[in-house]
Amino acid sequence: MKPNQFKPLSYTAPKLIPSDNSYLKLGFGSQIAPMAEWVHSQKINDKILINAHAVHNSAFRSDALSGYQKFMSNDGLVGMNYHSKKWMVAPLIYFKHNNNHLFSIDDKGSNKLDIGRNNQKFGLTNKIENLIGKQEIKFSNTVYLSYLKDNVNQEQTGEQSFKYNEYRYGTTFFVEKGIAKIHKLSGEFNIDMSQANVISKNHRTIFSILPKYSINLEKQKFKLFAGLNFTKEINQMHILPVLETEKNLIGDALIFYTGWNIKLQVNYYDNLIIENPYLFYTDNIKNTKVDNRYGGFKGLLGKLNYNLMFSNRQVNNMPLYLADTLNTRLFTLQFEPRMGINNLHVAFDFELSKKVKVINQFDVYLYDMNTFKRAWNKPTVDLNIGFIYKPFEKWTLRADFFVKSGIYTATTELVEMKLPTIIDLNVSGEYQFNKHLHFFLQANNVATQKYRQYYGYNNYGIQVFGGIRWVY
């Protein structure tokens, strides 16, 4: 559950996923926060299924110290799934609109500046896949196209700071052939093209070919997956290894796994402003190369599903955010040339009974820097715990607890500041009145902590809202 960066941690961004259920959800809460969600699924016949999903969220916060912050987001998609005996076709079109006024302050309540960010994204994808037996050739193809338009204004002066456009389009082909039940040969070919328009046009094209081999020895309880990823960016060719192994030590209760892969992570402006909504434009976005070695244990013990992993990553061109020296309300993008990350990852979900389920994810990060002193705006400890409780058949209660600590930030002149530990809790409940009508109530940031994920921007504080959900 990835939190939205400029709202409470527990106020997550909506996930637009086609659903088999249909419902209309309406609610209203404190901080003038209306919300609406519509999910519609309609089976035309045995071969065609239509899905539609739309979400609106907004809020307005005002106090004497901080001035105000407000946001509005509208997201929607329409998709279709067509199934024949041998083929599946799934076209999808989507739209995202975010309008935010990011009112920032310093520790003394001065240097206030309202920064308005308004962006829209349109996109479409289409996937074609053949549905066949294990020994035949499996084939799939995905094509995608998207357009992002981002405008940032400094409201105090009324001047438009900048406009940014980004186009993305590409396709992926995947082929797989089973041999003698235990072997598989596969290949993946990808073309990804993008063009960013800020001060100048920045066109990037990435080609990659990934042949792979895998073997599954059921009697020996051993799996191996290996391949080489040939990736070309601009005038440079990368040969990137992919290796994974898995061995059942004690049935499904204890499984040991290891892996090594090197990936070229393409950084798009679209992804960067999701991670940091206060990012000022950048005309020099670099790709990130990640060398990842990992190993751990996973398994299923009764009703406990767990994963314990340790990884070491060597990262070239890690994107970091530094507060702009002239305007500390906005962040500039900097790249750490070489950075080491040691990560301990613990995750589990456990059903205590049919009524109680616990979900946990815990990460500890140790950073080894080359150029900068710290991994600016990256946490050292990240903890997420979720509880789901059904005391009665028609009641569902949930609590989500978040902790982030060890976050440092700095200006472009490297004046260092440590942000306080973030502690956030939200609780929610839903009651099924009858077959169609459900009532819900939710409270975000119950601890009312005015934490900051980025320097100068307080969160929205406690928020309570409720409403109804009509299932049809």
CB 91 within 8 A of CB 79: yes
Cβ neighbours around 137 below 10 Å, total:
12
Mean pLDDT, each 10-residue run in order, the chain (472 residues): 38 49 90 89 91 89 60 92 91 92 56 73 94 75 94 62 86 91 92 80 85 91 95 89 95 95 90 82 83 96 94 96 75 92 95 89 96 92 93 92 90 79 89 93 79 68 87 90
- CATH class of the region 23-471: mainly beta
CA-CA distance, 288 to 337, in Å (whole number)?
9
The pLDDT of residue 198:
65
Q: How confident is the model at residue 5, as a pLDDT?
A: 36
* pLDDT value, residue 4: 37
CA distances 42 to 51, 80, 243, Å, are: 7, 10, 42
Residue 277 has φ and ψ, to the nearest 5°, of -65, -10
pTM, whole model, 2 decimals?
Answer: 0.85
Q: What is the pLDDT of residue 281?
A: 66
Q: Which residues contact 348 (CB under 8 A, 6 or more apart)?
A: 304, 305, 306, 307, 358, 359, 360
Q: What's residue 447's pLDDT? A: 74
